[in-house]
């Protein structure tokens, strides 16, 4: 009887210890930030206060896209406003990157995340969601933002090995077939761009021979930010 009591006591203690370990583990877990939920009008501290980026550095000035004097349509980046200060976070470590997602989708392992804080707001971020999620993320962007304000097209021959993964990934309505003097061609969006309420969303596809291996998502908090200026 004593042995049974001791066994029950040991089992109860083991269960309590297991629960305690789980609670302590939950208390030590870092917060996760879904970048798709950011309100650019709110202070950056609302989103970054519990985040531990692997690197943050000061940048004096902000980038703007300006026209090159030598060519009317040629744009170049120029760092201006050097009396201003931006803070640039480069999130590269696996444990740090695990704190971020977009629509719940994590960034792929080999690519980093960048966040720019400018005038106490999040002004820009970029993330590389896993390529296998491209269709789902594009659909969610269209549901949230509507039809793109513009697209930048790329063209491949119908026989190109890179084309099949694109045809499997993108909506059929986004694909254009035509024939030129050389061959049958297919045009498709390489960049989807939305401009909504002063914010710019750019979704860029990176091609691969088996899948659209990854995609880059850039979000600009306003037309003039701590990172870039775009005019659409």
**pLDDT tens digits, residue range 31-71?**
688 998 888 889 998 888 877 665 677 777 666 656 555 54
* Mean pLDDT of the chain, nearest integer: 75
Least confident of 16-25, 38-47, 182-191: 16-25
Cβ partners under 8 Å of residue 29, min gap 6 = none
Q: What is the largest CA-CA distance in the chain?
A: 95
pLDDT grade for 20, boundaries at 50, 70 and 90: very low
Tell me what the mean pLDDT of segment 188-206 comes to. Answer: 85
Alpha-carbon distance of 173 to 134, in angstroms, equals 16
SS3 call for 66: strand
Q: Looking at the predicted structure, is the pLDDT value of residue 228 above 50?
A: no
User: For residues 210 and 195, what is the distance between their CA atoms, to the nearest angstrom?
Assistant: 31
Give residue-wise pLDDT tens across range 100-125: 999 998 888 778 888 888 888 888 88
Which of 68, 108, 88, 113 lies closest to 228 in space, CA to CA? 88
CB atoms within 10 A of CB 137: 20
Give 141 or 12, the one with higher predicted confidence.
141
Using the predicted structure, report yes or no on whether residue 185 has a pLDDT greater than 90.
Answer: yes
Report field, pTM of the whole predicted structure over 0.75: no
What is the pLDDT at residue 54? 56
């Amino acid at each position: 009887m004593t042995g049974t009591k001791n066994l029950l006591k040991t089992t109860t203690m083991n269960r309590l210890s297991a629960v305690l370990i789980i609670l302590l583990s939950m208390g030590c877990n870092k917060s996760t930030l879904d970048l798709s939920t950011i309100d650019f009008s709110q202070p950056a501290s609302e989103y970054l206060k519990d985040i531990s980026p692997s690197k943050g550095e000061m940048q004096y000035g902000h980038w703007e896209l300006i026209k090159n004097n030598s060519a009317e349509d040629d744009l170049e980046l120029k760092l201006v406003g050097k009396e201003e200060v931006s803070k640039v976070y480069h999130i590269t470590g696996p444990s740090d990157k695990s704190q971020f997602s977009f629509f719940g989708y994590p960034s792929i392992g080999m690519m980093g995340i960048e966040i720019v804080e400018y005038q106490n707001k999040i002004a820009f971020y970029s993330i590389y969601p896993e390529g296998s999620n491209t269709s789902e993320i594009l659909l969610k962007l269209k549901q949230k933002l509507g039809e793109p304000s513009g697209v930048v097209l790329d063209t491949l021959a119908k026989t190109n090995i890179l084309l099949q993964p694109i045809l499997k990934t993108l909506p059929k309505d986004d694909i254009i077939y035509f024939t030129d003097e050389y061959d049958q061609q297919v045009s498709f969006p390489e960049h989807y761009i939305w401009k909504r309420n002063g914010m710019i969303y750019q979704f860029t596809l990176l091609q691969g021979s088996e899948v659209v291996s990854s995609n880059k998502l850039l979000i600009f908090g306003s037309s003039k930010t701590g990172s870039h200026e775009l005019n659409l």
